[in-house]
Structure 1
Amino acid sequence: MDRAVSRSFAILEALARSHGPARLSDLSAATDLQKSTVHRILATLSELGYADQDDSGRYRPTLRSWEIGIGVVADLPIYRVAAGFLQTLHRTTGETVSLTVLSGSDVLYLEKLTAARPVRFLTRVGSRVPAPLTAGGKAILSVRIDAPQIIEEAAAHRALDIPALMTELEECRQRGYALSGYSPGVTSIGAAVAAGGAPPDAALSVSAPSERLAGKKREAIIEALLETRARMTEALDRP
């Protein structure tokens, strides 16, 4: 592995995660690199147009990175197909809907349509969360034969009750959807999406305050989610 390249990407990723202008010292701490190294790499990133320094001396990423990312996402079949189905599910349920894809042992949020009565979420488009913690991630893992390996990888970075999780995933597989309370006070319901017989690597989810996801409202949301998943799978399977 080329150290200069890996350090550059580490700094760029730290900039993206800072959610605002970042001090040189903060980036140094986040990447465990010397300030002189971080300063030198930031100067190069700035020259290339990937970073910018404001009047206070803090750094932020530019839209150059977004240009690359959106180009990759736009070419994903799941993303191209999903837009209309997400809009319909959003209108039908009146709640927040998300599209996630499996990335290593995490899920990555590709799209999120927020409810008119929003709540505070820990995730947003571009967020990366360990798959076993989210409804979408659990739904994906429940129907993948390599789920134990993915869970083991996730457990290397976070404490997980693996036996309890495996039992939960079996329940998810049998009923066709998963549940999660990753964001405090919010319940999410997720369903995996697959195409062409391949292992599922994407999921749809509906999230709302836990008190709103009860009784007939909950049943209606599950029905709408599973119906949307079925229609989306059909669309992906078309030549």
Structure 2
Amino acid sequence: MNLALSRSMAVIERLAGEADGVPLMVLATELELPKSAAHRILADLIGLGYVHQDSVTERYRLSMKLVSITQRHLSRVPLVDLAQPFLTRLAERAGELARMSILDEDELIWIAKAQGSKHALRYDPDSGLTVPLYCTASGLALLSALDDESALARLREQGLGDSEQRGPQAPTTEAEFMALLAQARENNFAYTADTYENGISALAVPIVDSRGSALGVVNLVGPSLRFDRETALTHVADVQRAAQEISAALNTTL
């Protein structure tokens, strides 16, 4: 792989989600780059319009160019248009956020959503994020469609993350994760509370094709105080139906 390209992508990924920006030395240190190389990469990315530097703090942050490109790409992905009516109906029935993620090579990406909550307290994150497999209902649902060996390989490839990147109930060992995975397989759905973010719960079901291969995941998400396990269980059939309908619609277009 081209070294300059891989370094540039590493900088972009590190800046993702940093609304206040990141200092040059932090970037250089964390990415194990010489300060001069980090500065040169940032200068190139600024020239291409992907990065801005704050004139006061001198911190670097991503511009909206990547967002624009992502939205333009997603608007042309047929699966998004196919899935939206089913997600909208699911969100309205449940009164919570319905989301869909698709498997892109080895990553699960949240690409579409519909907000059904009428409450002031709601959960509504951006699409386009990579799904952490080890600490989300979506990750459990996806891996539940695989055998243990394949699921562990996917888990190890992505890793377990650190304590600052997960909720207080997230599994911290492979054994804990595999126990949750076994439960998801037995139930034919995955439910998590306070694993991805503290105070957030989710219910998820995999989207599988006619051969049983996982294509993605449909899930419902809401505040744990409102979307507890008992409440989530009342929506299992709705989520499973949405996953089946999206799968059928996709198979029809292939």
TM over 0.5: yes
Whole-Å separation in 2 of the counterparts to 1:81 and 1:214: 29
CA distance in 2, matches of 1:14, 1:152: 21
CA contact (8 A) 1:141 1:169 kept: yes
- C-alpha distance after superposition, 1:43-66 (max 9, x if no partner): 111222222233223332223222
**Alignment counterpart, residue 153 of structure 1, candidates 128, 153, 157:** 157
CA distance in structure 2 between the partners assigned to 1:210 and 1:62 by the alignment: 33
> Secondary structure at 2:22's aligned position in 1?
coil
Check the 8 A contact 2:70/2:128 in 1, yes or no. Answer: no
What's 1:187 paired with? 201
Task: Give the C-alpha shift of residue 160 in structure 1.
Answer: 4.2
CA distance in 2, matches of 1:228, 1:148: 27
Q: Is the deviation greater in 25-34 or in 214-223? A: 214-223
Output the CA distance in 2 between the equivalents of 1:106 and 1:123.
Answer: 18
Aligned positions of 1:114-125 closer than 5 A: 114=115, 115-117=117-119, 119=121, 124-125=126-127
Q: What amino acid sits opposite 2:214 in the alignment?
A: P
State the partner residue of 1:94.
95
Which position in structure 2 is the counterpart of 1:28? Answer: 28
CA distance in 1, matches of 2:22, 2:230: 46
Taking the aligned partners of 1:122 and 1:153, their CA distance within structure 2 comes to 28
Q: Decide which moves more: 104-113 or 78-87.
A: 104-113
**1:21-54 alpha-carbon deviations (Å, 9 max, x no partner):** 3332333234232322222111111222222233
**CA distance change for structure 1 residues 54 and 154 in 2, over 3 Å: closer, same or farther?**
closer
Q: Report the CA distance shift for 1:72/1:65 in structure 2 as closer, same or farther (over 3 A).
A: same
Q: Which amino acid aligns with 2:136?
A: T
* Correspondence 1:43 to 2:71: no
Alignment pair present for 1:135 and 2:137: yes
Measured at CA, do residues 225 and 51 of structure 1 come closer, stay the same or move farther in structure 2, by a change above 3 Å?
same
TM-score by length of 2: 0.79
The answer to whether the Cα contact below 8 Å between 2:201 and 2:228 also exists between their aligned partners in 1 is no
1:13–1:179 CA distance, 2 compared to 1 (3 A): same
Supply the distance in 2 between the matched residues of 1:27 and 1:162 (Cα, whole angstroms).
30
Structure 1's unaligned 5+ residue stretches are: none
- Counterparts of 2:35 and 2:242 in 1: how far apart (Å)? 50
Q: CA deviation at 1:121?
A: 5.8
**SS of the residue 1:132 aligns to:** coil
Displacement of 1:170: 3.0
Task: Give the deviation of 1:224 after TM superposition.
Answer: 1.6
Give the stretch that moved more between structures: 202-211 or 54-63: 54-63
1:105 touches 1:154 (CA, 8 Å); kept in 2?
A: no
Q: 2:219 aligns with which of 200, 205, 218?
A: 205
Structure 2 alignment gaps of length 5 or more? 163-170
Q: How many residue pairs end up in the alignment? A: 239
Tell me which residue corresponds to 1:7.
7
Asked if the contact 1:106/1:137 (under 8 Å) is kept, the reply is no
CA distance in 2, matches of 1:228, 1:93: 12
The DSSP-based 3-state class of the residue aligned with 1:191 is strand
Moved more, 85-94 or 167-176: 167-176
- Runs of 4+ in structure 1 off by over 6 angstroms are none
Separation in structure 2 between the aligned mates of residue 110 and residue 165 of structure 1, nearest angstrom: 25
Higher helix fraction (1 or 2): 1
Q: Could you tell me how far 1:119 is from its partner in structure 2?
A: 4.9
> In the alignment, is the contact (CA less than 8 A) between 2:122 and 2:223 conserved in 1?
no
Structure 1 length-normalised TM: 0.84
Structure 2 Cα separation of the partners of residues 30 and 201 of structure 1: 34
